[in-house]
């Protein structure tokens, strides 16, 4: 080998080793974090928004993934037609850019995103049944040019996690529960018309909200107001009693709140048309029922969130759920408006007294029916489900970093539990990685 080639090889090896050392690093001292802010958006897979992010496991790697097949395993010649005249009817059987037909500032149709369907679409990690098991046809394979979106800029500046999965198969309802209790809610003796019917091999015969053994995997309204007008009591989820991360924090005297766009209007019986009742997970629990002290102290409106940011008086742990029109959910929201809204919130935090000791986590509750090529890890009967984007934005976050560590939604709980010395809520969060690989060593500087 020539001296020139030797030097090039040495440089490449050094860069690789340096990168690995930086990625591993010393375990950060989390005690300097005094604000953990979780921003929970809606319904996009990782490949759908960040498939072309430099250094991430994205659409370049997806060229080796199986193409979409019908339920018999036969590959499609072209993707099934999309029920939207803005899209051509003969798209190739591969990922395609949505913005070639519909800009990110416009809404697209919603896609099925339910428990048993998501599990079947993943098809034991092959991810080849998304189009076959959907009401949206080939739209499942669409993706956005994320670099045109405001949050992409934050992902470039700070840390993007490219191995982060929704905690549970399916939709928003169940994944909001997993965000706050690492659990699937229960409805024993649910009405028969709410129950799922499975065959002897566990295949879906009739869909519903409640499994044969009483777990709720698809959307039900809460028992306690606010809930969707006209929903009968039998079709509302009984108050839940499982411990939540809020209960754990309160027991230690640590301040926390769930802030939601439109909450005050909904709680007063005048909900905005975009308010999503099933996106308010604490409202399903007995400790936060209508009229309780728990609700009064911890379930707040977006306006209170803004005041807390500006005055530097946010509690230690915060969850923020934007109003429907800004949460990026296909069907009733567009991507660009949501990205712009959240970028504005982050900028506000950056210019507030809170920024100096805050960690902001921006993530998505679930994939919204969109395909992703990465095979989810197998943990338990609930998931994890499909991979979703997650950004870690903080003075403590590694800069220009793609974190390949395996995470799921319960990793957020694990970070909170680790920081504040809380007991785990379940086996999943107990075993989860806690996002600390996205953070630099933030121990106090040495006095030497």
10 Å CB burial of residue 265 (0-12, 13-18, 19+) is: middle
Residue 320, beta-bridge partner list: 39, 259
Residue 58 tokens read as 């994205």
> How many domains are contained in the chain?
1
Compute the chain's Rg from CA coordinates: 22
Q: Looking at the domain assignment, is residue 397 inside a domain?
A: yes
**Distance in angstroms (rounded) separating the CA atoms of residues 75 and 174:** 31
Q: For residue 64, count CB atoms less than 10 angstroms from its CB and return exposed for 0-12, middle for 13-18, buried for 19 or more.
A: exposed
Closest CA to 139 of 115, 113, 114: 113
Is 147:395 a contact under the CB 8 Å cutoff?
no
- What CA–CA distance (Å, rounded) separates 371 from 164? 15
pLDDT the model gives residue 289: 96
| Mean pLDDT of all residues belonging to the chain | 93
Which pLDDT value is given to residue 26? Answer: 52
* Residue 7 resides in a domain: no
CA dihedral 177→411→276→329, nearest 10 degrees, is -130
Residues 6+ apart with CB under 8 A from 72: none
Digit-coded pLDDT (tens) for 319-346 = 999 999 999 999 999 999 999 999 999 9
Residue 408 backbone dihedrals phi, psi, to 5 degrees = -140, -175
- pTM comes to 0.92
- Range 101-125 average pLDDT: 97
d(CA 332, CA 342): 17
Least confident of 63-67, 372-376, 382-386, 393-397: 63-67
- Which pLDDT belongs to residue 330? 97
* Averaged pLDDT for residues 264-287: 97
pLDDT tens for residues 168-206?
A: 999 999 999 999 999 999 999 999 999 999 999 888 999
CATH number (domain holding residue 208): 3.40.720.10
Report residue 208 as tokens. Answer: 């519903």
Cα separation, 393 vs 367, in Å, equals 21
pLDDT, residue 137, reads 96
24 in a structural domain: no
Q: Is the pLDDT of residue 10 over 80?
A: no
Cβ atoms within 10 A of the Cβ of 30, count?
Answer: 20
Q: What percent of the chain has pLDDT over 90?
A: 90
Q: Find the domain containing 128 and state its range.
A: 30-438
CB 133 within 8 A of CB 73: no
| In a domain? residue 45 | yes
Residues 6+ apart with CB under 8 A from 271: 226, 262, 265, 277
3-state secondary structure of 381: coil
For the cut 90, the answer to whether the pLDDT of residue 24 exceeds it is: no
Q: What tens digit of pLDDT does each residue of 115-145 get?
A: 999 999 999 999 999 999 999 999 999 999 9
Residue 146: pLDDT above 80?
Answer: yes
**Bridge pairing between strands 401-403 and 236-237:** unpaired
At 253, list the tokens: 């005297």
CB 59 within 8 Å of CB 83:
no
Percent of the chain with pLDDT over 70: 92
pLDDT for residue 201: 86
Task: Determine the distance from the C-alpha atom of residue 364 to the mean position of all C-alpha atoms in its chain, rounded to a whole number.
Answer: 3
- Which tokens belong to 293? 């002290």
The secondary element (H helix, E strand) that includes residue 427 is helix 427-431
With respect to residue 98, please indicate whether it lies within any of the assigned structural domains: yes
Question: Which residue matches tokens 């969130």?
Answer: 305
Q: Which pLDDT score, from 0 to 100, does residue 29 have? A: 83
1 part of a folded domain: no
Instruction: Please give the pLDDT value at position 16.
Output: 39
DSSP 88: -
- Model pLDDT, residue 66: 84
In a domain, 264, yes or no: yes
Any domain includes 113: yes
């Amino acid at each position: 080998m020539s001296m020139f080639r030797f030097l090039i090889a040495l440089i490449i090896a050094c860069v690789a080793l340096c990168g690995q050392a930086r990625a591993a690093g010393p375990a950060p001292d989390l005690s300097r974090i005094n604000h953990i802010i979780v921003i929970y958006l809606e319904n996009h897979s990782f490949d759908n928004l960040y498939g072309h992010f430099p250094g991430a496991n994205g659409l370049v790697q997806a060229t080796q993934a199986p193409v979409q097949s019908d339920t018999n395993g036969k590959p499609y010649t072209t993707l099934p037609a999309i029920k939207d005249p803005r899209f051509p009817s003969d798209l190739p059987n591969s990922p395609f850019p949505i913005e070639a037909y519909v800009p990110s500032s416009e809404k697209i149709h919603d896609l099925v995103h339910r428990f048993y369907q998501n599990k079947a679409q993943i098809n034991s990690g092959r991810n080849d049944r998304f189009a076959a098991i959907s009401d949206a046809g080939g739209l499942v394979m669409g993706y956005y040019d994320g670099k045109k979106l405001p949050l992409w800029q934050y992902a470039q500046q700070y840390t993007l996690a490219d191995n982060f999965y929704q905690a549970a198969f399916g939709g928003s309802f169940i994944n909001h529960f997993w965000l706050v209790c690492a659990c699937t809610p229960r409805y024993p003796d649910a009405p028969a018309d709410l129950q799922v019917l499975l065959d002897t091999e566990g295949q879906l015969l009739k869909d519903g909200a409640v499994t044969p053994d009483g777990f709720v995997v698809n959307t039900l309204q809460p028992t306690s107001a606010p809930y969707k007008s006209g929903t009968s009591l039998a079709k509302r989820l009984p108050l839940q009693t499982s411990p939540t991360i809020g209960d754990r924090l309160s027991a230690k005297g640590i301040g926390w709140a769930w802030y939601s766009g439109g909450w005050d209007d909904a709680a007063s019986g005048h909900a905005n048309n975009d308010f999503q009742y099933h996106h308010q997970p604490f409202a399903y629990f007995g400790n936060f029922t209508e009229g309780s002290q728990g609700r009064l102290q911890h379930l707040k409106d977006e306006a209170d969130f803004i005041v807390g940011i500006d005055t530097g008086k946010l509690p230690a742990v915060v969850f923020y759920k934007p109003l429907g029109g800004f949460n990026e959910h296909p069907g009733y929201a567009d991507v660009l408006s949501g990205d712009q809204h959240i970028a504005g919130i982050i900028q506000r935090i950056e210019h507030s007294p809170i920024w100096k000791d805050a960690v902001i986590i921006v993530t998505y509750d679930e994939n919204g029916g969109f395909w992703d090529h990465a095979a989810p890890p197998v943990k338990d009967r609930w998931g994890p489900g499909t991979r979703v984007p997650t950004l870690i934005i903080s003075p403590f976050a590694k800069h220009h970093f793609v974190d390949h560590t395996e995470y799921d939604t319960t990793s957020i709980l694990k970070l909170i539990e680790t920081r504040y010395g809380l007991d785990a809520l379940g086996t999943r969060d107990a075993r989860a990685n806690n996002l600390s690989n996205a953070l630099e060593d933030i121990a106090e500087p040495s006095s030497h």
